[in-house]
Amino acid sequence: MAYQALYRVYRPQTFHDLAGQQHIAQTLQNALTKQQFSHAYLFTGPRGTGKTSAAKIFAKAINCEHAPAAEPCNECAACRGITSGSIADVIEIDAASNNGVDEIRDIRDKVKYAPSEVRYKVYIIDEVHMLSTGAFNALLKTLEEPPEHAVFILATTEPQKIPLTIISRCQQFDFRRIPSSEIFERLRFVVQDQKIDAEDEALQLIAKASEGGMRDALSVLDQTAAYSEATVTVQDVLDVTGMVADQMVRELIEFLEDSNAAGAIGKIGELLEQGKDPLRLMEQMIFYYRDLLLYKTSPQLEDLLSRPRVDDDFRKQAENVPSDRLFQVINQLNSALLDMKRTNHPRILLEMAVVRLCEHSETMSGAAAGSSDSSALQKRLNALEQQVHQLSVASPAASRQDPQPESNHARAPRRNSSLRIPTAHINRVLEDATKEDLIELRSVWAKVMAKIRSENVAAHAWMLESQPVASSAEGFVQAFKYDFHCQMVMENKSNIMGLVQSIVQDVTKKQKTMYPIPEDTWKTLKKDFIERSKSNPDNDGKKEEEDPLIAEAKKLVGPDLLDIKD
């Protein structure tokens, strides 16, 4: 016989085998033994929690030759036929592909005929929420007054999409997510029965990753067993599921709590270079902070944590991070995750969220130093603001010439101060810039970025969304799509700008100075420079002489029909 997937081999065949659904199993068993079962049931709940399996077990129990009984015997001809799918009186329908009015009308026409092989006709309609409005209306009358020999079992993961008129005609059972402990025990039974060598920590990780679905857990175990060489290890599970190792997430959280934005961005870049998904990484960060919060407030609820085990490093982190900080971080990361799901560049939003958390961490650590100093510090700030105001009123020219003291004080409490753009240097580059220099630099820029990535992952992350927009013999202008990337590069001149300039020199054999500038500021600066150039007739003539292609186009079609773009 061909190989069968584990979730098919270990599909529950009795109510006793339904993991985590004892409340449903007990109710259905009592109804079976008392012969008081309904003509219509609605099974709702997350995927992989046993809805369809419970429906087939119920179909076997009411048609078993030993009925009434709390469990099907799985040995009589009826039980074996329903299990194999060979009995035509138990019909399983996928509403996702049979959602039209005609299919439901066909059921309505055939349900009146008595069953041919067993006592009851059972219609199991999976994903019933996919039925159209017309199909629901066609099903309505049949559910209200079905024949005595017919039982309908509807299953869905989205009960809110089902009309209330349908729900009111059914007995509804809500299937719960299966606890990780029960999934772990089931996985351990499966590996022993299949003679698969697996680490307990790997099975615990699979149980946590399945999010309460037994079918998902068995599918991941099946895939991991095929991937591993001999023993199913934690690393095998991480590779197959795309999850990030707990140690690497812990290091990332440590960077965040130490306000080390460069280290955090570097760690994110390292993880994404390994093929990790930004959305999955963000989810793991949220669950890590959630575990810290739960363990900090209720250490006895260790079973509710999403992590396989609690070690000393995790306990130490939970003790050191304040509860207010945990609430704040979870809210911010969750908001960023929602934004990431709606964008084509989730990595950028992930980096932005990390930088914001680092800045807020600095603020909170400063506030935690002591509330007694806050009033004195506020008084000093107020006095400084008053002095600066008096100086600016008394001598505006002097304050303009020497803004250094004010900028220093303003920059101390905040990192998001306005960027100081080297406008004079950029204008000098524009005056000497040529298209040949820019084309030469852009042609090798991919090679420059590859070298940056090999030497400094964090620098590569900051430079990723930028490009050279003007180049001369001595310098080039680098436009950044996001302001905070430009800010980080300018604040780390020795680490990032020095590295980039050195690599550019190695690649182009020319020594050039890089001038970072945000994209929006570059557009304004470029527009002003072009206007100044047009007002100078010498420069205008020079530009025309430098570009013979435009002059030739004007001769061919005339200047009125041309739309010249830089």
219 and 283 belong to one structural domain: no
Structure tokens at 361: 């961490």
Q: Which amino acid is at 369?
A: A
Residue 40's domain comprises 6-174
What 3-state DSSP class applies to 42? strand
Indicate if the pLDDT at residue 538 is higher than 70: no
Measured CA to CA, the distance from residue 434 to residue 442 in angstroms comes to 13
**Which range (46-55, 93-102, 539-548) has the least confidence?**
539-548
Q: Supply the pLDDT for residue 395.
A: 47
> In angstroms, what CA-CA distances link 436 with 38, 67, 429?
82, 89, 14
Structure tokens at 251: 């290091």
The string of DSSP codes covering 98-139 is: S-SHHHHHHHHHHTTSPPSSSS-EEEEEETGGGS-HHHHHHH
> Per the structure, how many domains does the chain have?
4
218 and 256 belong to one structural domain: no
Mean predicted confidence (pLDDT) in 261-265: 89
pTM of this prediction exceeds 0.85: no
Confidence of residue 413 (pLDDT cuts 50, 70, 90): very low
339 and 266 belong to one structural domain: yes
The domain boundary, picked from 159, 174, 189, lies at 174
201 and 77 belong to one structural domain: no
480 and 511 belong to one structural domain: yes
Confidence of residue 239 (pLDDT cuts 50, 70, 90): confident
11 and 142 belong to one structural domain: yes
Number of C-beta neighbours around residue 129 at 10 A = 20
Tokens 């001809």 sit at which residue?
A: 77
Q: Which of 2-6, 196-200, 300-304 has the highest mean pLDDT?
A: 196-200
CATH number for the domain spanning 497: value is 3.30.300.180
319 and 439 belong to one structural domain: no
**Which range (90-99, 380-389, 524-533) has the least confidence?**
380-389
Using CB atoms within 10 Å of the CB of residue 194, give its burial: 0 to 12 exposed, 13 to 18 middle, 19+ buried: middle
* pLDDT digit string, tens, across residues 179-235: 888 899 999 999 999 898 998 888 988 888 887 889 999 999 999 999 887 888 888
CATH number for the domain spanning 269: value is 1.20.272.10
229 and 273 belong to one structural domain: no
Higher-pLDDT residue of 124, 485: 124
Mean pLDDT of the chain: 82
287 and 213 belong to one structural domain: no
Query: Pseudo-torsion of CA 253, 257, 260, 261, nearest 10°?
Result: 70
Q: Which long-range contacts (CB under 8 A, 24 or more apart) does 464-470 make?
A: 465/348, 466/516, 467/442, 468/438, 468/441, 468/442, 469/438, 469/522, 469/526, 470/426, 470/429, 470/430, 470/433, 470/438, 470/526
227 and 269 belong to one structural domain: no
Measured CA to CA, the distance from residue 120 to residue 127 in angstroms comes to 22
The domain boundary, picked from 339, 368, 397, lies at 368
* pLDDT digit string, tens, across residues 415-461: 444 577 888 888 888 888 888 888 889 889 989 998 888 888 778 88
Structure tokens at 449: 């970025």
- Is there a domain that residue 27 lies in? yes
Confidence of residue 245 (pLDDT cuts 50, 70, 90): confident
CATH number for the domain spanning 48: value is 3.40.50.300
232 and 273 belong to one structural domain: no
- Of 271, 197, 208, the closest CA to residue 233 belongs to 197
185 and 157 belong to one structural domain: no
Q: Which amino acid is at 12?
A: P
> In angstroms, what CA-CA distances link 116 with 87, 133, 161, 475?
9, 32, 34, 88
